[in-house]
Amino acid sequence: MHNYNGNVAVIILAAGMGTRMKSDKAKVLHTICNKPMINYVVETAVKIAGRNVIAVVGHQADMVRQIVSKDAEVKYAHQKEQLGTGHATMCAIAQIPENIKDIIVLCGDVPNLSSETILNLIDKHKNENNDATVLAVEIEDPQGYGRIIVDGNKKFVKIVEESDANEYEKAIKVINSGIYCVDKIFLENSLAKIRNSNAQNEYYLTDIIEIGNTENKKIGLFVSEDYTEVIGVNSHDDLLLAEKLMERKNF
């Protein structure tokens, strides 16, 4: 494994409310094994990028900052309106130091992801000289996740969100984890081009993949074998599952 500290930055998307949690508390502040789930993500991010970690906060921003800052020194970007993952990433770009070559995008509600898996993602991204590399997994029940679309030549062409997917696309079991390694310049340029013409009227970060392919950029895919690492927390059932996985990992 390589040490990329100083070469990469990490953006953590942590601005959402999490309405399916049926709680007034910001989603990322719900606890797993008595620790706010975002703290697990921040710990992993710091291992990768040191001080070059930017958390995008929004719902209960002050509380999230206060809790994260007790254990880690990170920067913060504020997403005033939750207009999608692409918009959240845009909010953080100004905080990225000029010397950074690649940016990792993580989700504040995916607490079980290991630093080893992220390093493997970066390795693939760098070794293949990609402009963007997406972490994907194959799962039996892909409902709710964006699907990885490949063409007849097995080229990765785009990600389709479930709400925008047709029946054929919904049957695909390889899904987007929401975790990316992206060249900084390509990310800045492609974020300026995404639009909110979709079912949710949001700016999807996933759209940078289709933009990259249109512009003949090199887009890669890293399929992790352990799908449990990228399970997101969107409900209390998910929270219980994440806790079981964390307990198993730390046993």
Q: Which of 20, 51, 147, 248 is catalytic?
A: 20
Element (H, E) at 36: strand 35-36
> Average pLDDT, stretch 116-140?
96
Q: What is the pLDDT of residues 207-217, one digit of tens each?
A: 999 999 999 99
Element (H, E) at 178: strand 174-183
Q: What is the pLDDT of residue 21?
A: 72
| Residue 2's pLDDT band (cuts 50, 70, 90) | low
Give residue limits of the domains in the chain.
8-250
Q: What percent of the chain has pLDDT over 70?
A: 98
Q: Tell me the one-letter amino acid at 165.
A: A
Distances (CA, A) of 172 to 26, 140, 151: 31, 9, 13
Q: What percent of the chain has pLDDT over 90?
A: 84
The answer to whether residue 142 scores a pLDDT higher than 80 is: yes
Q: What is the pLDDT of residue 6?
A: 79
Rounded Cα–Cα distance for residues 125 and 133 (Å) = 6
> Average pLDDT, stretch 177-183?
97
What does the buried/exposed string (b/e) look like for 188-227 if buried means 16 or more CB atoms within 10 Å of the residue's CB? Answer: bbbbeebeeebeeebbbbbbbbbbbbeeebebbbbebeee
Residues 6+ apart with CB under 8 A from 41: 12, 14, 28, 106, 107, 108, 110, 111, 113
Q: Which CATH superfamily is domain 8-250 in?
A: Spore Coat Polysaccharide Biosynthesis Protein SpsA; Chain A (3.90.550.10)
Rounded Cα–Cα distance for residues 196 and 135 (Å) = 23
The answer to whether residue 1 scores a pLDDT higher than 60 is: no
> Average pLDDT, stretch 170-191?
97
Q: Are 45 and 71 in contact (CB under 8 A)?
A: no
- Other C-beta atoms lying within 10 Å of the C-beta of residue 72: 15
Q: What is the pLDDT of residues 45-73, one digit of tens each?
A: 999 999 999 999 999 999 999 999 999 99
Q: What is the pLDDT of residue 250?
A: 76
Q: Is 20 a catalytic residue?
A: yes
Q: What is the pLDDT of residues 12-35, one digit of tens each?
A: 999 987 777 777 888 999 999 999
What does the buried/exposed string (b/e) look like for 149-179 if buried means 16 or more CB atoms within 10 Å of the residue's CB? Answer: beeeeeebbbbbbeeebeeebeebebbbbbb
Q: What is the pLDDT of residues 91-123, one digit of tens each?
A: 999 999 999 999 999 999 999 999 999 999 999
Element (H, E) at 150: strand 147-150
Q: What is the pLDDT of residue 251?
A: 65
Which of these, 143, 161, 166, 158, lies nearest to 197 by C-alpha position?
Answer: 161
Query: What is the sign, positive or negative, of the torsion defined by CA atoms of 136, 49, 127, 217?
Result: positive
Q: Share the mean pLDDT of the chain.
A: 93
> Average pLDDT, stretch 224-239?
92
